[in-house]
Structure 1
Amino acid sequence: MLLFPPSWHPSQPYLSLPSLTAFLRQQGVHDVVQRDLNIELLDILLTKKTCSEFYQKIIGALRRMDNSWGTPRRSASANWQEKYQALAHASEVIPAIIDKIEPAKNTLRSEGFYNLERYMESVHIINESLSLMSALYYPSSLTALSNDMRYSVYSSQEIFRALGDEEENIFLNLYKDHILSSIIDFPPDLLGISITSTSQIIPGLTLAKLLRDRNKEIYITIGGSVFTKLIENLKKIDSMFSVVDSFIVFEGEHALLRLVEQVDGKRDFRKVPNLVYRENNITRINEPFYAEDLNALPTPDFDGLPLKLYHAPESVLPVQTSRGCYYRKCAFCNLHLDHRNFRLRRTELLMEDIRTLSHKYHTPYFFFTDESVPMNQLREISQNLLESRQNIKWMAGVRFENALDSDLLGKMAKSGCQKLVFGLESYNQRVLDLMKKGIKTDVVKNILNACLEAGISFHLYIIIGFPTETGKEAQETLDFVLTKEYLASTGFSCLPSLFGMEKDSPVTHNPEKYGLRSLMAPGSEDLGLGYFYEVDQGMSPEEAERMYHYVIRQLSEKLCPFPYNYSLPDGLLYLTHKAGI
C-alpha cells in the first residue's frame, strides 16, 4: 500500500504514487493499492456531518473551559485565553457556514468552477471552514493547502512531541476515526508513505506511529524528496527508526521493487538500492545510489486514486519529460539533492504516455512537471502533437533560453501549449549574474513579449532577498513584474518567495563571494534544511522579509490571486475555458 499524506494542493493528484504503482505492476507486483489521504481526508472534513461533529466538540471544549475558568494558572495563560477566543469564534461562525461547505466543494467539481465569483467564494468557504474546525486543536490550523502547528518540522524532538499530542495534532483523531481501520483490516505487508513537502512530515509520521503501535508486522518505509535531503541527518537520529523501518532516498522505483522482494523473502536489506535503515544498532545507507532509466519506465498509473474527489471539474494530469535539472548552476538551488543526474524520456514514449492517459482518464489536460523542459524536447513534443493531431492542452516549466524564440513559441501554441512557468527570480542583471541564472534581462523581455504574441500565458517565480540584493534592486524586479501588458494579459501570475539559505546550495560553499558574514545552523534543528545568515552588504534578512511582504501587498493589489496564482492546474482549465477550446 502506497500513501500520500496531507497537506498538498487539492486540485490534482501528485505524480509520485502513480509512477511507483505503474512500475510495480509492470514488474509483476499486482496487489498494489495507492491512496491519496490528503484528498480523502479533505472530502471527509468538508461535509455537513463532520463539521457538525466538530461543532459539538467545540461546544463541549468551551463548557469545560468555562468550568475551569477559576483555575488561576489556566485563566491567566495567554495561550489558554487565545484558545478560548478561537473556540468561541468558531462556535459563533460555524452555524452560518455549515450548510455552505458541501455546495462549495461540489462547485469546484462542476461547471460552477468556471464562474470566477463562485470559484473564489468556494475556495474561501472551504478554507474558512477548515480553519474554524481546526480551532479545536488551537494553535494548530488547517487549510485546503497546508497545516500549521507550533512544533518545528526541523526538530526530531518536536516532531515526536507532536506525534503524541492529542490536544494539538489534528491528524491523530482524523486517522483514528476515518483511516486506520481501512489499513489495519487490509493489512499490507509493506506500507510506503511519500513525503515530498515539509507540510507532510508530521501528518506522515503521525500515521506511521499509529500503525506501528497497532501492528508491528507491517513494514513501513518513507520516500520522497524531503528525507533525500536529510540522509546525513538520519545517521544521527536513531529515534526516527522507532516509527518507520526505513527511508528510500532519491528515486524509488527499483528500490521499492527490491524492498518488496526482501520483505516477502530473506529480508537481506543490503540488496535494496537507495535504502537507509537500521541493522545491528547501526544506520546503514545503501550506496551507490541508483538512478532510473526513464525510457524503461511505464506510463504512470492513476488507477485507484479518487480522481472525482479532487477540487476541479476535470483532471490535469502530471507527466515528466525528464528528471533532474539540465542547467544545475543556480547559486540558490539544491535540486541536485533530489536527483543525481539529468535524464530525458524519449519523445515517442512521452507521446504514448499522453495518448494512454488522455484516453484512459478522459482528459486533454497535462502539466509537464519537469524542473525545466529542454528546448529540443519542447520542439519535439510540439511537432509530435501537431503531427498526431491530438487535442492536448498543456503547460510546462521552462528556462529563459535564446532558443525559445517566436518560431518555437508559435509551434508550441499551435500544439496546445497554454502557459509556461518561468523562474525569473530577479530582473536586475547584477543579481541574476550573481545567482548564476545564465539569463539576460533583454532576453527575458523578448521571450515574454513573444509569449504574448503567440497567445501563451506565463507564470513568474521571483526571489526577494538574495544575498547582496538591495531594496532598489528588488523594486526593479517588482516594477518589471507589474508591467501593464503583463497585468492585462489573460492568465498572468507571479509568486514571490523570500530567499532561504538552503542546505548544500552553492551559496553555502562560498559564502564570502555572496557578501555573507556568517552561516549558522539552528542548534535545535537536527532535521534542518537551511541556515540562518548575516550579511555584510545588501538587505539584511529582516529587511528582506519586510521587502517580501511589501511585494506581496503590491502584487495582491494589482493581480488577483484567483485562479492563476492559487493553482497552476486550475489556471490551465480557466485558460482553455476562456478561449472556448
Structure 2
Amino acid sequence: MKYDIMLFSLPNKNMDYPGLALPTLTAHLREKKYRTFQEDSNVIIRDKMMTEGFLNDLTHTILPNIYYQNLNDTKISKRIKQIIDFYIKIEQIHGFDEIEKIKKDMQSRKYAELLSEEKSFEIVSILFKISRSFHNIIDIIPNYSSLFEDFSIYNPIEEYLKKILDNIKKSNPFAVGFTVLNIQRKFTINFAERLSNDFSGYIFVGGPDPTKFGKQYIESYPFLDVAFIKESEENLLQIMEIIKNDGDDFSNIPAIVYKNNNTIKENKIKPINFENLLTPDFDGISLDKYLTNVLPIQASRGCFYGKCKFCIHWKTYFKYYQKKPENVAKDLEILSNKYNTKFFHFTDDALEFELGNKICQEITEKKLDVRWLTYARFESKFSKDSLELWKKAGVSVIEWGLESASDKVLNRMQKGINPRIAERIIKDSSEVGITNKLFLFHDYPDETSSDLSKTIDFIDDNIRHGRIRFFMPIRNKFELLKDSQLYEESLKDYRNLFKKIWFPSGIFAIRAEYFDLNDYTKKKEMLDIFLRNMTRYMEEKNIYTTDDENITLDIICNYLSEQKIPIPFNQN
C-alpha cells in the first residue's frame, strides 16, 4: 500500500503495553486524510525473540560466542555471563517451550487461567524479566550479526529490519518518522542511517529525547532532516502539507530544528491547542503482541506543580495542559469499546486532584467498567471520601511521588508535600481498596543517614501494615540532571551541595557526576540492609511486587481479585 507517512517506535522499550505518541499522531494525520502507517517495532522484535528456538540459540550459541570474544572486557563479559546463567536456569526449571506457550497465553489474555496458578504466575513474572534482559541483547547483537551467518541461525532482529526497509522502499512515503526516548536513541539512529542509504524522502525524529537534544540530532546526524521539539500534533500536519505540495520552506513551522542550506535552524516553540487533541488511534499497532491489554491514555500534559528542584521531566511539554474531564471519559469509552479492554494507564506526570475528581465523576455517571493506574502528588485535598470516588471510578493503582520522608530533604527539594499528610492519604487510600506505590530515591544533596532512616522507617511501617506495595525505586541514587533547577544552582556554586562535581560534557549527556558532602558509605549500608530485610519479608509473606517492566500487571491482578479469582501470592 502507498503511504504518505510511516511512523515507528524502535527498541528498546518494555513490552507490557503500547506507547501513546504514535497513536496520537496517527489520529491527527488520518483525520486530515494522510495515509498513515504506524508500527511499534519494539514489541514485534521482542515477540520474535521470545520463542523457544531463538532463546535456545541465544543461550547455547550466540551469547557464549559473544562472551568468549569479550573476555578482555570485564563489564560486557560479566553481563553476558549473567544473562546466560539466567537463561540456563529458566531452561532447566521450566523449559523454553513453556516460556513461549505462556507468552502466547498472556497475549491471548488468559489471565484468570495463568495468574491463579502458582507455576504459571511465576512464568509470567519470568516473561517480564526476559524482556528486561533483551534491553542488553538488542543493544549488543547488531555488532555480532556475522555469528548468525556463521552458525546458520535465524536472526529475528535483522530479518525484521530488512522487511521494514523493503516495505518503506515499496511504499516510498513522503516521510518516515521515529518517536525517541533516550533508551531508543542508539537503535533509532543506526536504523535511520541505514534507511537513508536507499530512501529519498524526509526522515523525522520527535519525542522526549529530540526535545532535549534537537540541535544535536540535526548537527550530528546529516541523514536526519527534522527534529520536532515538544508537542508535534500540529506542526507535523503543517510540515506534511508543505511536503505534499512539493515545498521545502519550513521557516514558519513552529517547534522544529532542521537544516536549511547547510545551516541549522531552530524555530520558535509555541503551545498547541490541547483541547483539539483527538482520541488516540491504535489501528495498525500489533496490540496482540503485548503481554497485557492495557492501553495508555492522557488527561493532561506537563506537571501542574513543576517546582521540584531535581526534575526536568515536565519540560517535555511547552506548558501544563488539561483536557476537559468529559473528553477524557469519552476517550475511555471509545477505546474500551473499540479495542475490547477495560484496563488503562494514565500516563500524566501527575493527575491533579480536581481534574481527577471530575474525571471520576464523569466515569461513574457514564457507568464505564474500567480499571486504571495513575500517578499523583500527595495533595492535602485528598480525603477518604474523594479516594472512595476514585476507587468507584475504577482507580486500581496510584503511584505517588514521595521521594523522601524527611521534612528537611523535602523542603530542600522544593517538593511541597508533608510526610504526615502523605501517611494519612496512604492510609485512607489503602482502606478504600486502592493499591499504593511510592516513587523514592536516596542521597539527595545534604541528606544524612538520619534523613534516610526516616524514609526507610516510613516505607517499612507502611508495607508491614499493608498500606503500600513494595516498589524498588528507593535503591536508585539521586541523579543531578542538566537543566534542572538544582543543576543551575550547582553551576553557580556547588560547594554547599557537593564535595566535587563533574558536569556533563558529551553532546547527549544530561547527568552530572559528583562526590557527596555526607558519607555515602553509611547510607549505602543502611539501604542494603533494608532491601535485604524487605526482600526476606516479601518472601516470607508470599507477596509479589512489580516494577517498571510490568507495572500494568498490578491492574490485572487487582481486577482478578475483585472477581474472586484467587491469586497465589499476597498483593499486600
Normalising TM by the smaller chain, what interval? 0.7 to 0.9
Contact 1:9–1:144 (CA<8 Å) still a contact in 2? no
Equivalent residue number for residue 153 of structure 1: none
Query: What CA distance in whole angstroms lies between the structure 1 residues aligned with 2:87 and 2:398?
Result: 44
Q: Give a deviation string over 1:455-490, Cα, whole Å, max 9, x none.
A: 111110001111111122112211211125556358
Cα gap change, 1:42/1:118 in structure 2, threshold over 3 Å: closer, same or farther? same
The answer as to whether partners of 2:169 and 2:199 remain within 8 angstroms in 1 is no
- Give, in whole Å, the separation in 2 of the partners of 1:233 and 1:221: 14
In the alignment, the residues of structure 1 paired with residue 279 and residue 25 of structure 2 have an alpha-carbon distance, to the nearest angstrom, of: 10
- The answer to whether residue 207 in structure 2 is matched with residue 224 in structure 1 is yes
Determine if contact 1:457/1:492 at 8 Å carries over to the other structure: no
Q: Distance between the aligned counterparts of 1:220 and 1:498, measured in 2? A: 37
Pairing 1:580–2:547 present: no
Kindly indicate whether the alpha-carbon contact (under 8 Å) linking 2:63 and 2:80 is maintained by their aligned counterparts in 1: no
Separation (CA, whole Å) in 2 of partners of 1:485 and 1:126: 24
- CA change 1:95–1:365 in 2 (3 A) is closer
Distance 1:327 1:220 in 2: 35
Q: Which residue of 1 aligns with 2:8?
A: 3
Partner of residue 134, structure 1: none
Aligned to 2:264: 283
TM, length-normalised to structure 2: 0.84
Secondary structure at 1:271 match in 2? coil
Name 2:570's counterpart in structure 1.
none
201-210 or 88-97, which moves further after superposition? 88-97
Task: Pick closer, same or farther for the CA change 1:484–1:499 going to 2, 3 Å.
Answer: closer
Native 8 Å contact 1:23 1:253 kept in 2 = yes
- Could you tell me which residue of structure 1 aligns to residue 281 of structure 2? 301
**Equivalence for 2:546:** 564
Aligned to 1:158: none
Q: Residues 510-550 of structure 1: CA distance to partner in whole angstroms, max 9, x if unpaired?
A: 23586235542244x22101212244x3345x766666655
CA positional deviation for 1:101: 3.3
Deviations 1:292-320 (A, max 9, x none): 211111111111111111012xx211111
Moved more, 427-436 or 39-48: 39-48
1:12 paired residue number: 17
CA deviations 1:162-187 (Å, max 9, x no partner) are 98775799997355455433333333
- On the 8 A contact 1:4/1:36 being kept in 2, the answer is yes
1:295 and 1:346 in contact (8 A); partners too: yes
Please tell me whether residue 204 in structure 1 is matched to residue 188 in structure 2. yes
Which secondary structure state, in structure 2, belongs to the residue aligned with residue 433 of structure 1?
Answer: helix
Asked if structure 2 preserves the Cα contact closer than 8 Å seen for 1:563 and 1:570, the reply is no
Contact 1:468 1:539 in 2 (8 A): no
Residue 108 of structure 1 aligns with which residue?
A: 106
Tell me whether 1:23 sits opposite 2:28 in the alignment. Answer: yes
Shift in Å, 1:93: 7.2
The 8 Å contact of residues 469 and 538 in structure 1, kept in 2 or not, is answered as yes
Equivalent residue number for residue 370 of structure 2: 392
Aligned match of 2:382 in 364, 383, 404?
A: 404
Task: Tell me which residue corresponds to 1:249.
Answer: 229
For 1:44, what is the secondary structure of its paired residue?
helix
2:537 and 2:105 map into 1 onto residues whose CA distance is: 26
Deviation of the 1:554 alpha carbon: 4.4
The TM-score normalised by the length of structure 1 is: 0.83
SS in 2 for 1:568: coil
1:123-134 matches, cutoff 5 A: 123-124=125-126, 127-128=129-130
RMSD of equivalent CA atoms? 3.4
Q: Which runs of 5+ in 1 are unaligned?
A: 69-73, 131-141, 151-161
Match of 2:52 in 1: 48
Separation of aligned partners in 2, 1:85 and 1:230: 34
Q: Aligned AA for 2:180?
A: I
**AA partner of residue 191 (structure 1):** V
Shift of 1:20: 0.6
Superposed CA deviations along residues 135-186 of structure 1, whole A, max 9, x for unmatched, are xxxxxxx625666858xxxxxxxxxxx9877579999735545543333333
List aligned pairs for 1:182-581, cutoff 5 A. Answer: 182-196=167-181, 198-213=182-197, 215-231=198-214, 233-234=216-217, 238-240=219-221, 242-264=222-244, 265-287=246-268, 289-312=269-292, 315-483=293-461, 488-489=466-467, 493=471, 495-496=473-474, 497-511=476-490, 512=493, 515-523=497-505, 525-535=506-516, 537-540=517-520, 552-559=531-538, 562-565=544-547, 566-580=549-563
What is the alpha-carbon distance in structure 2 between the residues aligned to residue 495 and residue 88 of structure 1?
Answer: 26
Structure-1 separation of matches of 2:463 and 2:71: 56
Cα distance, 1:579 vs. partner?
Answer: 1.5
| Cα distance between partner residues in 1 of 2:346 and 2:77 | 48
Q: Determine the C-alpha separation between the residues in 2 that align with 1:444 and 1:200.
A: 35
Q: Deviations over 1:315-368 (max 9, x none)?
A: 211111111111011011112421121111011111111111111111111221
**What is the aligned residue count?**
538
1:112-136 residue CA offsets vs partner (Å, 9 max, x unmatched)? 44235423324426645x7xxxxxx
AA of the residue aligned to 1:212: S
Map of 1:81-96 to 2, 5 A cutoff?
A: none
Task: Report the AA paired with residue 133 of structure 2.
Answer: T
- Residue 243 of structure 2 aligns to which amino acid in structure 1? V
> Hey, what's the Cα distance between the residues in 2 that align with 1:91 and 1:419?
32
Which residue identity is paired with 1:245?
Answer: D
SS at 1:3 equivalent: strand
Do the aligned partners of 1:146 and 1:199 also contact (CA within 8 Å) in 2?
A: no
Is residue 99 from structure 1 mapped to residue 103 from structure 2 by the alignment? Answer: no
Relative to 1, partners in 2 of residues 1:348 and 1:95: Cα closer, same or farther, differing over 3 Å?
closer
Quote how far apart the aligned CAs of 1:563 are.
Answer: 4.7
The answer for unaligned runs of 5 or more in structure 2 is 1-5, 149-154, 565-572
Contact in 2 for aligned 1:417/1:456 (Cα 8 Å): yes
CA distance in 1, matches of 2:184, 2:370: 32
Equivalent pair of 1:316/1:365 in contact (CA under 8 Å): yes
| Alpha-carbon distance, 1:61 to partner | 4.8
**Paired residues of 2:229 and 2:257 also in contact (CA < 8 A):** yes
CA 1:293–1:401 in 2, change beyond 3 Å: closer, same or farther? same
TM-superposed deviation, 1:552? 4.5
**More deviation in 386-395 or 492-501?**
492-501
Q: 1:120 aligns with which of 100, 103, 122?
A: 122
